[in-house]
Amino acid sequence: MQFDNSIDLSLIAKVTDRKVSFITFLAKNLSIDIVMGAVSIEDGLKLTKALASNSSNDEKLDELRRENEQLEHDKQAYELAVEFLKTERKALQEKVEMLTKHLDRAEQQTDRFENSLLKMVESVSHLANNRDVLMGKMIGQSSWKITTMGAKEILVLSDPIRIPH
């Protein structure tokens, strides 16, 4: 149908043996304004001319199909990459948890070792500070006398102090 200075897209579709949706798509690609399902006469002629050159349209359609296939392929690749990243992230989180537990156990072991070392240092410090008192008690327990055996004098110790090696 034709109204004043416009042509209905359904008329162009009928003449060119194309679907209205395809003609609408082509019009948008060519930046043609569509008002209430119709275009101006000049734009209608542009659309008809574009639709008449089958070889260029077929090339455009083939190009659009290739682009669509490439986009679909890229989409699948991105989906696989996202799944891989999710799996990798989960594995890394599990590894972090395992290492955290290992670190906690190592810290507990270090704390026990430090406590044991502190007790040992305190014991050695106590022995060092009280060395004179302890040695005095040990010397007090020890006794000695000089005995003559034949022509020689011999020192005899009873309860001698033992010095550890």
Residue-wise pLDDT tens digits, 1-35: 445 688 888 888 888 778 888 888 888 888 888 88
The C-alpha torsion from 63 through 68 and 72 to 77, rounded to 10°, is 40
User: How far apart are the C-alpha atoms of 79 and 73, rounded to whole Å?
Assistant: 10
Which tens digit of pLDDT belongs to each residue from 58-86? Answer: 677 788 889 889 999 999 999 999 999 99
Most confident of 21-25, 97-101, 161-165: 97-101
The number of CA neighbours under 13 Å toward the Cβ of 18 is 21
What number is the average pLDDT over the span 134-154? 79
Within 10 angstroms of residue 43's Cβ, the number of other Cβ atoms is 19
Average pLDDT, whole number, for the chain? 84
Within 10 angstroms of residue 78's Cβ, the number of other Cβ atoms is 10
